[in-house]
Amino acid sequence: MNEVSNEVENDAVKSVNEVQENETQCDKKGKKKKLTFKQTCCRLLIKYSIIFAVVVISLKLYGCMRQINRAPSDTELALLKSSKKALNEEKTAENLLTHVKFLSIREKPRNYEHMDSLNECADYINDYFSQNFYFDVSEQEFNADGFARKGTKFRNIIATTPEIKGAPYIIVGAHYDCFNTTPGADDNASGVAVLLEVAKKIAIIEKLSTKQNLKVNVVFAAYANEEPPFFTTSGMGSYVHAQSWLKNKENIDLMLCLEMLGYYSDEPNSQNYPVPLLKWFFPTTGNFVASVGNSESSDYARLMDWYIRKFAQLPSEFVSLPSYVKETAFSDHRNFWEINVPAVMLTDTAFFRNKNYHELTDTYDTLNYQNMAKITNAITVFLLNYEPKNDR
């Protein structure tokens, strides 16, 4: 797979050089004619679109051959049976709705322009993590000078399971800010709601279990400042968190990013893609969960796809693309890719499906809480059954 990625990257670089060196074309009389800037851009756009489609299709076909098809293990089935009460979907859906309503129905939107509202949401998350008396809950304060009012303090809310000495870490993260004046129900109150309920289930199951199920340390992180003007900058909460792990990044097996998990449609042609050609190889109905990784995270993308299919029993797709394909890096996982930590984004595919993206219509009543509850349970089972990679 890496060879395919390298070939495509080389091809892309070569195409840029060709356009730069050959910005002329012959007219009917054989004379050289200068290409306009618009023509040059159009040619590059067409070429890159074709390259992108070829990469995705190649990796999709490659992935299908390696899709995990095993049945759930006895350990996983036993966990489901013993944790039936904690994994109750109806109650989980009710809790998810409560979280999304609190975060999205506000007098003022939860972002850097309304710090009181943003901090109320941070307090809510902190309190929910703390109420189980299981996690070590802390806050990571940081500034984003140059993007927000100087001296403004932003907060990442971090909850860590009791330490298992010598065990690696999995970070599960979601951003809690919203864009502009939007309610931000799907983006990203849905991701935060799932984050909170997975954490709660882990705490309940581990406290009630006669034996420890977790074999890995789990860090639940709610991030500030994923939305513009912070996106792609050092002002992102996830950037600050990733950088704090820089010296110990080898201890992280995976970062799992929860980004927009609430919007689903059974309408035909409700799913879009960056390149229309991809509709020939991926579903055109927007009812699936997507696991998105880079080339180094492909095994984890396939693993999450399997858990969604087997334990959430929802349609699921996965794709692993080179990190430079910008459509794959539209959330907090990008900052862990930058420090070479495997990271996978779980998503409903955002604006490729949800027309309410970054609109005032992104409200709580447009989301599917039953699907979100199923995803919550699947992630919980994944964490409780995860075998550290060093032990494999």
Q: Is the pLDDT of residue 1 over 50?
A: no
Task: Give the separation between CA 356 and CA 378, rounded to whole angstroms.
Answer: 26
Contact indicator for 130, 122 with CB cutoff of 8 Å:
no
Q: What Cα–Cα distance (Å) separates residue 102 from each residue in 124, 179, 189, 370?
A: 9, 16, 9, 18
pLDDT digits (tens, 9 = 90+) for 170-182: 999 999 999 999 9
pLDDT band at 22 (very low <50, low <70, confident <90, very high): very low
Say how many CA atoms lie within 13 Å of 212 toward its Cβ: 8
Average pLDDT, the chain: 87
Task: Give the separation between CA 253 and CA 332, rounded to whole angstroms.
Answer: 16
Q: Is the pLDDT of residue 25 over 60?
A: no
Average pLDDT over residues 340-353: 97
Task: Give the separation between CA 169 and CA 269, rounded to whole angstroms.
Answer: 39
Q: What Cα–Cα distance (Å) separates residue 280 from each residue in 53, 59, 218, 247, 276?
A: 11, 14, 38, 43, 8
Percent of the chain with pLDDT over 70: 82
pLDDT digits (tens, 9 = 90+) for 82-140: 677 788 999 999 999 999 999 999 999 999 999 999 999 999 999 999 998 899 999 99
pLDDT digits (tens, 9 = 90+) for 254-269: 999 999 999 999 999 9
Closest C-alpha among 277, 340, 388, 290 to residue 63:
290
pLDDT band at 277 (very low <50, low <70, confident <90, very high): confident
Task: Give the separation between CA 278 and CA 52, rounded to whole angstroms.
Answer: 10
Average pLDDT over residues 151-158: 96
Residue 104 confidence (pLDDT) = 98
pLDDT band at 40 (very low <50, low <70, confident <90, very high): low
Task: Give the separation between CA 240 and CA 259, rounded to whole angstroms.
Answer: 18
pLDDT band at 289 (very low <50, low <70, confident <90, very high): very high
Residue 162 confidence (pLDDT) = 96
Contact indicator for 338, 381 with CB cutoff of 8 Å:
no
Residue 210 confidence (pLDDT) = 81
Q: Is the pLDDT of residue 41 over 70?
A: no
Contact indicator for 8, 322 with CB cutoff of 8 Å:
yes
N-term to C-term CA, the chain: 22
